[in-house]
């Protein structure tokens, strides 16, 4: 993998063998089988270097980069899907894109800050780790950052609370809950016991 200015480039080779044995041999030698598709092009079976490709997996699936295939111009692509088996990556799908056409991708949600409710015994529970968005390839964020620092016990954060840059659209129900601050059962039980004791003393 190389970098030209702000453009990352990953080198790929055309695959000509498609048996299970050939794929296993490819992986054993540090390669990773994959395919390239999209933009009215025929699907191209390729292989890439596992270590080089893994660096792109870390940055997320919304980063546009060039896939260099022998005999053709570099193709602008996104990582559309990564298939795993027993925790190991075994296949990758590259989606060829046009920089002036909207694409839909799934990106991780990053929760920032410490919910103030946790300082009073509450527990922050996150229910969503990634969301689908649409936008032009050059405008796509690598993560959706969500600030939870203002959340108190009983508060909920929904999709509608997310503020994204202009031109980016979330593909999700606005009422979907992303995170909430809950009271632990032990605290709830203690508070219930105190209330019962107060009621008994007042009776």
So what's the pLDDT on residue 183? 84
Residue in the structure block whose two tokens are 């300082």: 119
Q: Which residue has the tokens 């260099």?
A: 68
Residue 45 pairs in a beta bridge with 35
Could you give the dihedral angle defined by the CA atoms of residues 157, 124, 142 and 46, in that order, rounded to the nearest 10 degrees?
-120
- What distance in Å separates the CA atoms of residue 17 and residue 14, rounded to the nearest whole number? 9
Task: Tell me which residues of the chain have a pLDDT lower than 70.
Answer: 1-7, 58-61, 186-203
pTM of the model: 0.70
Q: b/e for 49-84, b at 16 or more Cβ within 10 A?
A: bbebbeebeeebbbbbbbbbbeeeebbbbbbbebee
3-class DSSP state for residue 18?
coil
Domains present along the chain, CATH in parentheses: 2-97 (2.40.240.10), 104-189 (2.170.120.20)
Q: Specify the pLDDT at position 6.
A: 44
Closest CA to 81 of 36, 42, 45, 40: 36
Q: What whole-number distance in Å separates Cα of residue 196 and Cα of residue 2?
A: 67
The tokens describing 45, both together, are 């079976």
DSSP string, 91-139: EEEEEE--TTS-EEEEEEEEEES--GGGGGT-EEEE--SEEEEEE-GGG
Handedness of CA 71, 77, 81, 83 (dihedral sign): positive
| Structure-block tokens of residue 111 | 């929760």
pLDDT score for 80: 87
């Amino acid at each position: 993998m190389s970098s030209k200015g702000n453009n990352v480039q990953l080198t790929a080779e055309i695959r000509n063998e498609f048996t299970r044995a050939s794929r296993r041999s490819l992986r054993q030698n540090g390669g990773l089988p994959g395919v390239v598709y999209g933009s009215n092009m025929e699907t191209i079976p390729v292989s890439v270097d596992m270590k080089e490709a893994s660096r792109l997996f870390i940055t997320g699936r919304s980063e546009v980069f060039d896939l260099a295939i022998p005999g053709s111009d570099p193709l602008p692509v996104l990582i559309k899907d990564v298939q795993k088996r027993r925790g190991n990556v075994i296949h990758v799908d590259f989606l060829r894109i046009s920089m002036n056409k909207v694409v839909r991708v799934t990106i991780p949600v990053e929760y920032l800050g410490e919910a103030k409710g946790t300082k009073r015994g509450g527990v922050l529970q996150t229910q969503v780790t990634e969301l689908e968005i649409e936008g032009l390839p050059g405008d796509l964020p690598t993560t959706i950052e969500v600030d939870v620092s203002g959340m108190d016990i009983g508060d909920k954060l929904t999709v509608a609370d997310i503020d994204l840059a202009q031109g980016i659209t979330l593909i999700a129900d606005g009422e979907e809950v992303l995170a909430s601050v809950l009271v632990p059962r032990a605290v709830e039980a203690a508070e219930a016991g105190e209330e019962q004791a107060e009621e008994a003393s007042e009776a």
